[in-house]
Amino acid sequence: MNRITVIGAGALGMLFTVKLAEAVPDMELVVRRPSQKQLLMSAGVSLTEAGSWLDRKEKAARTSTVYPKVVLMNEERLIQDDSLAERENTTHWIVLAVKQSAFTKDLAEAVRRRMGPHSWVVCLQNGIGHVEAISSIIPEERIVLAVTTEGALRRSETEAAHTGRGVTWIGGAGSTDDEVAAAAQKKWVELLEVAGFQAFLSKNITSRVWHKLLINAVINPLTAILQVTNGELPGLPQAQQLMRALFDEGTALAAALRIELDPDLWEQLLEVCRRTSANRSSMLQDVLAGRPTEIDAINGGLLKKAESVGLFMPAHQAVYQLMKALEGRLSLVRH
């Protein structure tokens, strides 16, 4: 048997909660605030399939609503229930769908308390650095990395839209020789496929992480600063020059770190812009909502890696500083 706990009710958290509920009925969603818990318990979690892949004969987008068990992170009842599930030999998947800034030792400790011999932690994050943040508490061999290009938009505290279908790559954070971990990763791919996702195992998940990281490091900050959609970005000549500068610096860093990249990654980046043309990037959504962004985990993460190998990245440094200034201004407005 399988049980899934999704931690975080943002766009991706709600997307995976609704879709995975079709494959695994034993589903729960962990949130931080009592007010959001009450809303979700009352209204459920709703997902609208809003992408262009829908059958054109359909006059309205499809909406699905599920009612997972909703709990708060610090509820002792959740920990007790998890222990019972482990005794019953249930495989427990704990999906971390939170921002990189939430990857703290407190989070790792809270997750570890919910883990047993049949638990696996699935990381859905953008950027880099999250495994290092939690692997001192959660064993690396129990961490599954998920790199997804699925598009989702959070419409409210209980609703999300599935705005673009993508691919999800799965790999382990630990040794590639671990047969138990490899079997678990294969099982997770199967669950994703049953839920309607396109998912694959990757023997080089680090490369997949960097593919998404470099694409995000170009699209996210520029769309947030210019306040344009993904599709509008390449159509601005000066913006495309900045896109190329950020991309070239990122690929130079990957080469210095001996990380393999697809030779057509630039074309893949432009294809992401086309395929998600109407989407607002997650960083733009955060800026418009007055929330902190993931700039530290994305461009900031690249800058830290560059510093470690003595590489200067002026374009990334510039957009990083602009985003931090923008965050600072938004913080003043909030207060």
Active site residues: 212
How far is the first Cα of the chain from the last one, in angstroms, to the nearest whole number?
Answer: 48
Report the C-alpha gap between 21 and 265 in whole angstroms. Answer: 33
Question: Which 3 state secondary structure label does DSSP give 214?
Answer: helix
Beta bridge partners of 65: 46
- Asked if residue 199 lies in contact with residue 192, where contact means CB atoms within 8 angstroms, the answer is yes
- Asked if residue 183 lies in contact with residue 91, where contact means CB atoms within 8 angstroms, the answer is no
Sheet of strand 151-154: strand arrangement: 62-66, 45-49, 159-164, 151-154
Report the C-alpha gap between 261 and 50 in whole angstroms. Answer: 31
- Asked if residue 32 lies in contact with residue 9, where contact means CB atoms within 8 angstroms, the answer is no
Report the C-alpha gap between 56 and 62 in whole angstroms. Answer: 12
Beta bridge partners of 91: 2
